[in-house]
A and B are shown apart, each in its own frame.
Chain A
Amino acid sequence: ETGVTQTPRHLVMGMTNKKSLKCEQHLGHNAMYWYKQSAKKPLELMFVYNFKEQTENNSVPSRFSPECPNSSHLFLHLHTLQPEDSALYLCASSQLRRGDEAFFGQGTRLTVV
């Protein structure tokens, strides 16, 4: 295991539901990330948090709402999603240095029905 834990591993939700994805890192890192992985597309960076502060939002729709209460925990709150939002959502963490290794969790496989 990489030291980055994501829950749940699988999630099926309706378009009117509200759910949250959770990520926890045990590596003492100070930067955390949400990525979206869809079939045949590059890993898409969604959000970046450095020292609990959001430093990047890559034009992500407002139906995705991140929360970082401390440097070890990261949440992604989901509401009124669309079927095209179905994907693998990956959390990663790293030290806040240029070119430092990012450690990924196993991801949450999200299906929106």
Chain B
Amino acid sequence: QQQVKQSPQSLIVQKGGISIINCAYENTAFDYFPWYQQFPGKGPALLIAIRPDVSEKKEGRFTISFNKSAKQFSLHIMDSQPGDSATYFCAASSYKLIFGTGTRLQVFP
């Protein structure tokens, strides 16, 4: 019940395309859903986060869509750029962060 399932494991997108990463959870006590971005040699850094009282949050090219009834949330990266190439982790939290397995995104020019 503490798991967060993330897919796909890897994603290749052309520059300008839309990158979509999906996550699903079971524990209804989770009340905070962040996405972290990790570049090689660096620790994860918070990208964007959402709480379950809203269905969507947008920050620049990054959007979280949240479906509380389905217990699913996703990250959309619009107009994907080569600089977005990184590993993305979804997470869910009530008082501690539980991470998904990560998605390695590669954006080709």
Q: Mark B1-17, 1 if CB is under 8 A from A, else 0.
A: 00010000100000000
* CB under 8 Å from chain B, chain A span 86-113: 90, 92, 98-107
Q: Are B95 and A98 in contact (CB under 8 A)?
A: yes
Q: B residues within 8 A CB of A104?
A: 36, 43-45
Q: Is A61 an interface residue (CB 8 A)?
A: no
B25 interface contact, C-beta 8 A: no
* 0/1 interface trace, chain A 29-58, chain B, CB 8 Å (1 if under): 000010000001111010010000000100
How far, in angstroms, from A4 to B43 measured CA to CA in the complex? Answer: 10
Question: In whole angstroms, what is the CA distance A102 to B4 when docked?
Answer: 17
Complex alpha-carbon distance, A105 and B38, angstroms: 11
Cα distance A42–B97 when bound, in Å? 11
Of A43, A92, A104, most buried by chain B (CB within 10 Å of CB) is A43
Tell me the nearest residue of chain A to B3, going by C-beta: A42
- Please tell me the number of chain B residues within 8 Å of chain A, measured between CB atoms: 25
Q: Are A42 and B101 in contact (CB under 8 A)?
A: yes
Please pick, from B42, B51, B94, B97, the residue contacting A102 in the complex, using a CB distance under 8 A.
B97
Q: Does any Cβ of A come within 8 Å of B49's Cβ?
A: yes
Give CA–CA (A50, B73) in the complex, Å.
29
A43 & B99 in contact (Cβ 8 Å cutoff): yes
Q: Which residue of A lies closest to B101 (CB)?
A: A42
Contacts known (A2-B45, A4-B43, A106-B43); A99 close to B93, Cβ less than 8 A? yes
CB contacts (< 8 Å) of A6 on chain B: these are 43
- B34 contact from A41, A101, A105, A106, Cβ within 8 A: A101
Could you list some 15 contacts between A and B, CB below 8 A? A2-B43, A33-B96, A40-B9, A40-B101, A42-B101, A90-B43, A92-B43, A98-B31, A98-B95, A99-B31, A99-B49, A99-B93, A101-B34, A104-B43, A106-B43
